[in-house]
Amino acid sequence: MTELIDLRSKTLEEIEAIVIELGEKKFRGKQLFNWVHKGTEKFNDMNNIPKNFKKKLEEVSILKNMDILEVLRSKIDGTRKYLMILNDNNVIESVLMKYKHGNTICVSTQVGCKMGCGFCASTVDGVVRNLRAGEILGQVLAVQNDIGERISNVVLMGSGEPLDNYDEVLKFLSIINHPLGLNISMRNITLSTCGIVPKIIDLAEKKLQITLAISLHASNDEIRNKFMPINKVYNINEILEACKKYIKNTNRRITFEYALIKGVNDKTEHALELAKKLKDILCHVNLIPLNEVNESAFETSKESNIKEFKKILDGERIHVTVRRELGSDIDAACGQLRKNYLKREHEQ
Ligand code: SAH
């Protein structure tokens, strides 16, 4: 049996080609694309598409490419953590965050991750497979359908390394940005990477207006090498050089993520060292209290240390904020929902 076409993974041009291939007029492509991006899950709901064409579509393609398996809802701030099951039974996580400026979704880009960061639960069992563009988009559509509200911002910060699934991530960006699709502006999209330098440079050359976030988490290579294996391939200096290129080409401010780990990267000397490295770069530092996970022994820094670290960066005139903790009453750290699910499945 040939594989069914995942319509959510297709650009408008590809959908038009499919429509023509099925013997229909090209304009049906726009109609179909529009339905796909409304999050429509049944061909029957497409009331401007002829019945016999809907039947043909149903034979060769799918709309819905995941189901919501579990939702944890925060009573404090409306955060929702989703466990989604894909058509091949793999599971992924997505998180909805409610901000004053709109609904933001954090999406996964891979099933698992192979980057091996020492503090992260998503990478413990390695990577299973890349997500298709339509499966990254499917998370947005599934959550929009669930909450009945529009999502205005997307962060590629869930499980997986987006630049390790580069082609599908780029395709996702172009599809979600399409005026006949969800039409989410590139400026409302953040891509977070552990620092795959050649891909950052390639991205810089594409001159997209997305926000680039770098998971830096250390002020020098010796520390970064301890918990981020990728640093042995691309070190901090190389990352910062690539970032400068990105800024030069796009004029966009870069975000550096810095998870504070007790006794490892949270001392005064580290803050000063970090400030020195970033002083000529158009950037913003996002300090993150480490989310402690069962799989690792790293502990989160004391609140007083976090405050002190911020104060030093402030004093050095580095733009810095501390990430507000959302959904603290549904305390499932990144990657934990999936891990718990896999554990349950395994025990059955
Ligand atoms: N692979 C990409 C995106 C996914 S991880 C990247 O590395 O950026 C998203 C962010 O969460 C990264 O900054 C990552 O370092 C951070 N992260 C992972 N586990 C964490 C934990 N236990 N506590 C705090 N931040 C964590």
Report pLDDT digits (tens) over 194-219: 999 999 999 999 999 999 999 999 99
Residue 93: active-site member: yes
Backbone dihedral angles phi then psi of residue 321, each to the nearest 5 degrees: -135, 160
Q: Which residues contact residue 294 at a Cβ distance below 8 angstroms, ignoring those fewer than 6 apart?
A: 121, 336
Average pLDDT of 100-126?
95
Give percent above pLDDT 70 in the chain: 98
pLDDT band at 220 (very low <50, low <70, confident <90, very high): very high
Average pLDDT of 225-243?
98
* C-alpha to C-alpha distances, 42 to 23, 35, 45, 62, 138, nearest whole angstrom: 21, 10, 6, 9, 14
pLDDT for the residue 158: 95
pLDDT for the residue 294: 82
* Ligand 1 center from residue 125 Cα (angstroms): 16
* Ligand 1 center from residue 52 Cα (angstroms): 47
- pTM of the full predicted structure? 0.96
Q: Identify the residue whose C-alpha is closest to ligand 1 atom 22.
A: 291
Residue 182 tokens read as 């969800």
CA 271 from chain centre, in angstroms, equals 27
CA-257 nearest atom, ligand 1: 13
Q: Identify the residue whose C-alpha is closest to ligand 1 atom 13.
A: 215
Q: How far apart are CA 233 and CA 220, in angstroms?
A: 14
* Ligand 1 center from residue 215 Cα (angstroms): 7
* C-alpha to C-alpha distances, 36 to 60, 71, 172, 224, 268, nearest whole angstrom: 15, 23, 14, 42, 51
Residue 101 tokens read as 């400026």
Question: Which of 45-54, 269-278, 292-301 has the least mean pLDDT?
Answer: 292-301
pLDDT for the residue 113: 97
pLDDT for the residue 329: 77
User: Residue 330 pLDDT more than 60?
Assistant: yes
Which of 24, 93, 135, 168 is catalytic? The answer is: 93
CA-113 nearest atom, ligand 1: 1
Pocket, ligand 1, Cβ cutoff 6 A: 115, 117, 119-120, 157, 161, 192-194, 215, 257, 259, 288, 290-291, 293, 333-334
H or E, element range at 22:
none
pLDDT for the residue 332: 61
pLDDT band at 1 (very low <50, low <70, confident <90, very high): low
Residue 334: active-site member: yes
Average pLDDT of 319-326?
89
Q: Identify the residue whose C-alpha is closest to ligand 1 atom 21.
A: 291
